[in-house]
Chains A and B, each alone.
Chain A
């Protein structure tokens, strides 16, 4: 008697859990899927039932978003900024993390503490001083060269991205480097390899899993970032990154109601991250325990 009572309560509990989990999953899947569906609807279809399936594949939305709304151009900018920032970040952060975690030298403790402290500095607090610093720099350069080149410059944006990602990246990489045994280096030194060669040929290849984690997390944050991009690429006619262009499209939509174009734009921003995520989701959710302190 006792036993059957318990299993029926168990079954009820199980059912309740499934309902709750599936509800949560549905509230995540439906809005995302809905955007994909809406991106192939014609503009007139948006005034009826929002749940209606699209009448056909209206690909023109994508053509409009890509050309008229300049999303194609913004996409190229985003790709460039993200790639550049990742390269700069890795070139700068890898050796720094290596030296900071594996060599004893004066000032090492201070530097480690400074980078740790940097984890608490949020970029959005300092975006205005960075902007003003670049304005002042541009004024100075204009006096010198006749033209400012710090604002509205994709390269500068990439440098700012890389710099602000340094604390998190150095923290994550040094954590990994410090777990390695010192034998690796000693063996390499005995074989006659110098410091630089040892670092690049022996240590970096071993750190590959951590490097991939670093690339994944920073790819997502650079690709999706828009406050700094919006501030530093402020020329209204000039280049923008994809999220900033999308935000403009959202605001324009409120007056012009170009729904189809907007959803096509949304798909263009989402798709690269979604594809990447599906390919590497195992790595990303595992790497989380390492990168658990993401701001």
Chain B
């Protein structure tokens, strides 16, 4: 009988600390993003004035914001496609073929994922350096004349960001797909091979359909994470410059809210990006829906 009465107390003690921390530092701040987007709050007072949807109407005519959204969408589309294409193909090769040093390669490919984005940004800044950078020096070597591309200039900065982001993400997804591809039975490939299906056909007809559920889940998360990673890279590598050419949605939010102390305006951006990322994930989820295949 004593055990029964202790049970609820035990459960409460177990769950309460986690729930309190979760509510205080995640739920309330999240709700606050949406609430504050309807208010105006300035730097040195806690006073908030209700302004309704004014922050949002201002956003719609803010050229800097529109540019940051365009950059975000560009990064989502390009980084996702390039990363997934490379990760899937390389993972398929590493699981299907007998490659010497496979384990070593797997270890190497995962390294970018364990480095801080600050470190990666610093490395790429050194690579992209116009005068002393390794990239320009390599290009000079191959072309035979002095190359001085402004990799972080207005024209190239987005390309430079994309390269760095793909470099960071590719290994992680590769290792993940290798794990799920390893569970596809070898016999399927063997019988397909007897039927005369080549490697490329096998990849599209067997590998991809069978790990589709995994691809779908990771795709949804990748989109949310790209919005976030773009912010981390921009913050550490370019600060949105030059002239806002590499500003992304969340870095613009941070700039408005934290640096500029227009908290309400910043949170309106946050709320919009929040809704945007959920909408996009839901859309991707619906578009990529297939009948799950069993093996």
Contact-residue bracket for chain A: 35 or more
Tell me if B1 is interfacial: C-beta within 8 Å of chain A: no
Q: Interface size on B (CB < 8 Å)? A: 90
Tell me if A273 is interfacial: C-beta within 8 Å of chain B: yes
B30 touches A125 (CB 8 A): yes
B218 touches A292 (CB 8 A): yes
> Which of A56-64, A159-167, A205-213 lies at the interface with chain B?
A159-167
A288 touches B14 (CB 8 A): no
> Which of B63-71, B105-113, B142-150, B285-293 lies at the interface with chain A?
B105-113
Residue of B at shortest CB range from A119? B221
Tell me if B167 is interfacial: C-beta within 8 Å of chain A: yes
Task: Report the minimum CB–CB distance from B118 to chain A (whole Å).
Answer: 4
Among B109, B125, B228, point to the contact of A25 (Cβ < 8 A): B109
B14 touches A98 (CB 8 A): yes
Total residue contacts A-B, CB cutoff 8 A: 247
B134 touches A51 (CB 8 A): yes
Given contacts A114-B22, A121-B30, A293-B221, contact A17 B93 (CB under 8 A): yes
A167 touches B22 (CB 8 A): yes
Q: Determine the distance from Cα of A244 to Cα of B267 in the docked complex, in whole angstroms.
A: 24
Task: Report the minimum CB–CB distance from A85 to chain B (whole Å).
Answer: 11
B119 touches A269 (CB 8 A): yes
B interface: dominant SS: helix
Kindly list chain B residues whose C-beta atoms are within 8 Å of the C-beta of A288.
172, 175-176, 179
Residue interface bits B232-257, CB-to-A below 8 A is 1, else 0: 10011000000000000010011001
Among B8, B119, B250, B267, point to the contact of A105 (Cβ < 8 A): B8
Kindly list chain B residues whose C-beta atoms are within 8 Å of the C-beta of A126.
26, 29-30, 32-33
Kindly list chain A residues whose C-beta atoms are within 8 Å of the C-beta of B114.
220, 224, 273-274, 276-277, 284
B108 touches A285 (CB 8 A): no
Tell me if B28 is interfacial: C-beta within 8 Å of chain A: yes
Given contacts A31-B127, A125-B33, A285-B110, contact A250 B122 (CB under 8 A): yes
Tell me if B283 is interfacial: C-beta within 8 Å of chain A: no
Q: Determine the distance from Cα of A100 to Cα of B22 in the docked complex, in whole angstroms.
A: 14
Q: Determine the distance from Cα of A98 to Cα of B21 in the docked complex, in whole angstroms.
A: 17
Kindly list chain A residues whose C-beta atoms are within 8 Å of the C-beta of B99.
17-18, 21
Which one of A46, A195, A276, A286 has the highest number of Cβ atoms from chain B below 10 Å of its Cβ? A195
Task: Report the minimum CB–CB distance from A37 to chain B (whole Å).
Answer: 11
A284 touches B116 (CB 8 A): no
Task: List which B202-260 residues lie within 8 A (CB) of chain A.
Answer: 214, 217-218, 221, 224-225, 227-228, 231-232, 235-236, 250, 253-254, 257-258
A163 touches B24 (CB 8 A): yes
B109 touches A28 (CB 8 A): yes
Residue of B at shortest CB range from A18? B99
A130 touches B221 (CB 8 A): no
A21 touches B105 (CB 8 A): yes
A47 touches B278 (CB 8 A): no
Kindly list chain A residues whose C-beta atoms are within 8 Å of the C-beta of B22.
114-115, 118, 163, 166-167
Among B7, B24, B221, B274, point to the contact of A103 (Cβ < 8 A): B7
Among B7, B26, B111, point to the contact of A195 (Cβ < 8 A): B7
A226 touches B116 (CB 8 A): yes
Tell me if A178 is interfacial: C-beta within 8 Å of chain B: no
Given contacts A96-B14, A105-B8, A295-B224, contact A28 B267 (CB under 8 A): no
> Which residues of A line the B interface, CB within 8 A?
13-14, 17-18, 20-21, 24-25, 27-29, 31-32, 34-35, 38, 46-47, 49-51, 91-93, 95-96, 98-100, 103, 105, 111, 114-115, 118, 120-122, 124-133, 135-136, 139, 159-160, 162-164, 166-167, 170, 189, 194-196, 199, 220, 223-227, 231, 243-244, 246-247, 250, 262, 266, 269-270, 273-274, 276-278, 281, 284-286, 288-289, 292-295
> Which residues of B line the A interface, CB within 8 A?
3, 6-8, 10-11, 13-15, 17-19, 21-22, 24-30, 32-33, 36, 41, 46, 90, 93-94, 97, 99, 105-112, 114-119, 121-127, 132-134, 137, 167, 170-172, 175-176, 179-180, 199, 214, 217-218, 221, 224-225, 227-228, 231-232, 235-236, 250, 253-254, 257-258, 263, 266-267, 270, 273-274, 278, 281
